[in-house]
Structure 1
Amino acid sequence: MPSPSVLPGLVALALLATPVARAALPERLSQTGLSDAAAVRAFEPRFPLWSDGAAKRRWIALPPGTAVDASRPDAWRFPVGTRLWKEFSVDGRPVETRHYVLGADGRWEFASYVWEGGDAVRAPARGQTLILPGGKAYAIPSTGDCMACHAGARSPVLGFAALQLGPAVPALVREGLLKNAPAAWAGQAPDFDAPDPAERAARGYLHGNCGQCHFDGGVPVPLRLALDVGARPAPLAAGQAAEVLRRAGTRNPYVQMPPLGTRHIDPQGLALLNRHLQPLVTQDRP
C-alpha cells in the first residue's frame, strides 16, 4: 500500500465521507483510508516523543464540514470521526502504524498494525514483540498501553496541539479547520515564554515526553512539566530537576520515565536535559 505524500512544514486536514461508527477497526491498514492521498495529509509536532530512535510520520483526517475546537487552547477537542495514523520505521523500513479513531460515543479506539510486505496487519490487542532483522526486538503496545498515555492527557491527541504545531496553526485558523481559537492565532503562532533557546529546547522536550502526564490535574505528584500557551514553564526545584535527570537516565522499568514505550535512553535528549537542569541541581548544594 503506498504511503500518502508528506508535506514538510504544512499541516492539512482530510475530508471523510461519513463519521466512523463504533466498531472494530479493520484487520488491514489498507482498509483504514490511509492510502487516500487526496484526503489524508501529514503533520509533524515540534517536540516529538522519543521512541528508541524510530523514525515517525503522522497523518490526520477530519469529517467534512467539521473543525477542531480550540476553545481550550491547551486541550483541543476533536469532532466525531477524526482519524489519525502514526507510522514507525526502524533502519529505514516501516514496522508499525498506529491508528486512532474517535467514535460516535466520544471514545477513542486504538489499533496497531504490523507491516508485512506492502500492507500491515492488525496486531493483537494485548500487544506483541517483533524480532527485526539483525535480532533487534521491537514492542507493539497493547491497547491498554495506548490508553495509559493518551486517555489521561489534557487531550488524547498528543501531537496535534497548539504548542506542538506552532507555526502551522495560523493556516488552520484561516482555513476554518480550527474553531474558537484566540483571534491572535490567525496571524501569530501560539508559543510559550522561554528566555533563551536552551530553555526552549529542554522544556519543549519535557513537554513532548512528560507533559501528557505531568500537568495540573494529571498524575498526583508535585511536578508540572506540561507547557501552556503564552506562559512561562513552571519552575523546577533542585530536587525535582535531579529526579527528572535520574528517571530520564535509566531504563529500570520501576524507575524510568517515560514509563512506557521505550527501552533505551535517549542520549541526545538526556544531554539536552543535563545542560539545562544540572545547574539547578548543583546551585542548591552547599
Structure 2
Amino acid sequence: MLETRLLIHRRAGWTALTYVWNAPRTEARLKRAGARIDVSFTDTAGQPRQIDYRVPNQNQCKECHSLSGRIAPIGVKARNLNGVFVYPEGSENQLAHWTRTGMLAGAPAPDKAPRAAVWTDAAEPLEARARAYLDANCGHCHNPRGMASNTGLNLDLEETRLAKLGLGKRPVAAGKGAGNLDLDLVPGRPDASIIGYRMASTEPGVMMPELGRSVVHTEGLALVREYIARMQRP
C-alpha cells in the first residue's frame, strides 16, 4: 500500500488528490507535489524487481482525468460494469446488483446494456479483448474529447474508422516517441507499429501511457501485439 488517489466532487467540479502512506501504513498524507518511492517486490514470474515508483502531482492527474478540458472520472461506464462479480451473498451482474441495492436508477437490463470484453478471457474474440484493453488503458486520452485528441488516434470503443484506430496512420509528431517507425499500426507487423513500440518502453517521452506505470505490462503488450499480428489488411 503506497498511495491512495481520490477524485472528490465539489460544487466547482471534480478535484484530484493523492495521499502517500507512511512506512507502517498507519497514516496517509496529502502530496499535491507528488513523490518518488523506491519499491522492491517479486513479480508473478518469481523475479525480484526494484522500481522508482512515481506518485503523480496534482496537475498530472489532469493528463488522464480530462474530458473536454475538465477533470472527470474515467472507467465508470456501463460497458465496464456489465459483468458478473462475486459479492458476499453470491455472484451477480454488477449493473443488476447496483440497481437492486439502490446505487443505480434507470439502468437497462444487463442484456440490453453495452459490454466490453474481458481482456484476460481467452474464450472471447481476440479483437474484442484487445480493443477493450486499449479502450480501458488508452481510450480516456485517445478520443475526440480527451487530452490526446490532437493526435487523431482514437482508441476508445466508440471508434470504428480504421484510420482513426491507427491503421496506416502517420503520427502527428515524429522524433524518439515514434522510434523511427512510420505508422501507428501496421496490420500483421507489430514490430513496425508505433503503438506496440510505445507500450514496450519505460523511457519518459516515449512510453505510453505516459503516467501511472514504471514497468512494462507484459500481458497487455502481448495481447496487443497478437492483435496486430493477426490483423488482416483492409
- Asked whether the two chains share a fold, i.e. TM above 0.5, the reply is yes
Contiguous gaps of at least 5 residues in structure 1: 1-93
Asked if 1:130 corresponds to 2:37, the answer is yes
* Structure-1 separation of matches of 2:58 and 2:17: 6
State the Cα distance separating 1:160 from its structure 2 match: 2.6
Give the corresponding residue for 2:103. 177
Contact 1:169 1:190 (C-alpha < 8 Å) held by counterparts: no
Q: Highest relative contact order (Cα 8 Å, sep 6+), 1 or 2?
A: 1
* Structure-2 separation of matches of 1:124 and 1:101: 15
Q: 1:100/1:193 Cα in 2 relative to 1: closer, same or farther (>3 Å)?
A: closer
Q: 1:130/1:179 Cα in 2 relative to 1: closer, same or farther (>3 Å)?
A: same
Q: Please list every run of at least 4 consecutive aligned residues from structure 1 whose deviation after the TM superposition is greater than 6 angstroms.
A: none
* Structure-2 separation of matches of 1:247 and 1:136: 19
Query: TM-score, normalized by length of structure 1?
Result: 0.56
Query: TM-score, normalized by length of structure 2?
Result: 0.67
Alignment of 1:1-286 (within 5 A): 94-133=1-40, 136-152=51-67, 156-167=72-83, 168-181=94-107, 183-185=108-110, 188-192=112-116, 197-218=125-146, 219-228=149-158, 234-235=161-162, 236=165, 237-238=167-168, 239-241=183-185, 242-280=193-231, 283=233
- Give the root-mean-square deviation of aligned CA atoms: 3.0
* Structure-2 separation of matches of 1:260 and 1:110: 15
Q: Could you give the per-residue CA deviations for residues 205-263 of structure 1, whole angstroms, max 9, x where no partner exists?
A: 101110111112222122111124xxx75533143322211221222222221111222
Aligned amino acid, residue 24 of structure 2: G
State the Cα distance separating 1:155 from its structure 2 match: 7.6
Aligned amino acid, residue 114 of structure 2: P
Aligned residues: 185
Contiguous gaps of at least 5 residues in structure 2: 42-49, 84-93, 119-123, 169-182, 186-192
* Structure-2 separation of matches of 1:99 and 1:158: 12
Contact 1:112 1:141 (C-alpha < 8 Å) held by counterparts: no
State the Cα distance separating 1:107 from its structure 2 match: 2.8
Contact 2:3 2:18 (C-alpha < 8 Å) held by counterparts: no
Contact 2:17 2:30 (C-alpha < 8 Å) held by counterparts: no
State the Cα distance separating 1:188 from its structure 2 match: 4.5
Q: Could you give the per-residue CA deviations for residues 26-49 of structure 1, whole angstroms, max 9, x where no partner exists?
A: xxxxxxxxxxxxxxxxxxxxxxxx
Q: 1:180/1:155 Cα in 2 relative to 1: closer, same or farther (>3 Å)?
A: farther
Q: Could you give the per-residue CA deviations for residues 146-205 of structure 1, whole angstroms, max 9, x where no partner exists?
A: 122112379822233212212211222344322454x344x55531589x5211221111
* Structure-1 separation of matches of 2:35 and 2:74: 23
